[in-house]
Structure 1
Amino acid sequence: MGNPLTIALPKGRTFAETCDLLRQAGYKLPDEFDDTRKLMIDTLEGNLRFILAKPLDVTTYVEHGVADVGIAGKDVILEKEPDVYEVLDLKLSKCHLAIAGLPQTVANGVVQRVATKYPNVASKYFKEQGEQVEIIKLNGSIELAPLIGLTDRIVDIVSTGQTLKENGLIETETICDITSRFIVNPVSYRLKDAVIDEMASQLSRIVEGGTT
């Protein structure tokens, strides 16, 4: 058998949904898949290889051809703007990218500093609104920034809104909706177009069928 199709999958909160979608699409994932600490796993048939990566790294692996295809959040795609084909909206892990702050700072309407994991997306959004703000990049506990007076607002992923509520923050604006996407390396597509098209078709059948 030739080179396997290499797929980069995001570990974390979206992993279970992603695995379920692949299984529904007819792909036999190894039994050890759901609780393994391995970072690379091959199927018994040898036709698929999986890279289990941090969500922020999936687009990097696909862009540089380490993985042929991958599943990445639209938030990561918008932030990194990788040179990949965005083939299919998988409609998984639905959430949105939002602006939030403390009620008292929201009331005065002043936005000078914004904390976020997504500095490029945030900077572009505020520029489009004609607002000049200082963007402060944080890698975790974004909600802490307004509480300690570091920033006036945050830009972060919101799913249920419970984390904002528990920290006394309120959402003020939605920047965009976020779902998981099936992405493809352009060179890999030229070399493995048949198998990639088959995977996209199988995934699309499940997504459009509404069975995920």
Structure 2
Amino acid sequence: MGKDLDFINKERDYWGKIYTDITYSISEISPFLEESTLIKRKYYSKISILKDYIKKLDDSEFKDSKKPKFLSLFKNDDSTSTLIDYKTSNRDAFKQFENCSKCTCLNCVRECEFKSCMGCKPSSFIKKCTDNKINIRKHDNFTLDLTNNDSGIASTYKVLATLEDCSLDKLYIILENIVDTDDKFILYYYPGISEDNFGEIENESEFNFVLESFEQSDY
């Protein structure tokens, strides 16, 4: 198998499954949701990007099949570069497709009381949702540089999860020091345009509920 064809097959296996999962979801939920609701789902308005990529893979495979076999073993043609360039120019959309395909919201037809897609940062998805109380959002490569108010020491923290409680209209964030994993925080989270703000949770039962919800989410 030539290098180009090997690349094409791997890409189609991976992205073809994601495309199938998302398009199947769209066909299943469309009868139950208004267009105005569907358009808010990030994958819905961008699915044509993935559809075009699958077609490009098919076209590239056909082109590769017409090449002399001895050339396909040793030389990559422009089709592989074109495919890579297309993915690079749509990097954010492809990352979104990966996350949407793993998201609990993908096949949901409920009238959502959460922020849903509007609350997702790039490279995040809903890991778990209890429908009417709390959801848990997982993030990839989301870190924050924070200074401890007590010690005055600045550290970088990995965001393990953000949790939204729609009944209290509260957003929480769970942080872990990337150097000292025993150094963890659960805080109120107030994301902003220019900067994020945080607050201490003083209610013990509220704190314990957030912690328990996180621990039960199979992270």
TM-score of the pair, normalised by structure 2 = 0.21
User: 1 or 2 for the larger relative contact order (CA 8 Å, sep ≥6)?
Assistant: 1
Structure having the higher helix fraction is 2
Structure having the higher strand fraction is 1
TM-score of the pair, normalised by structure 1 = 0.21
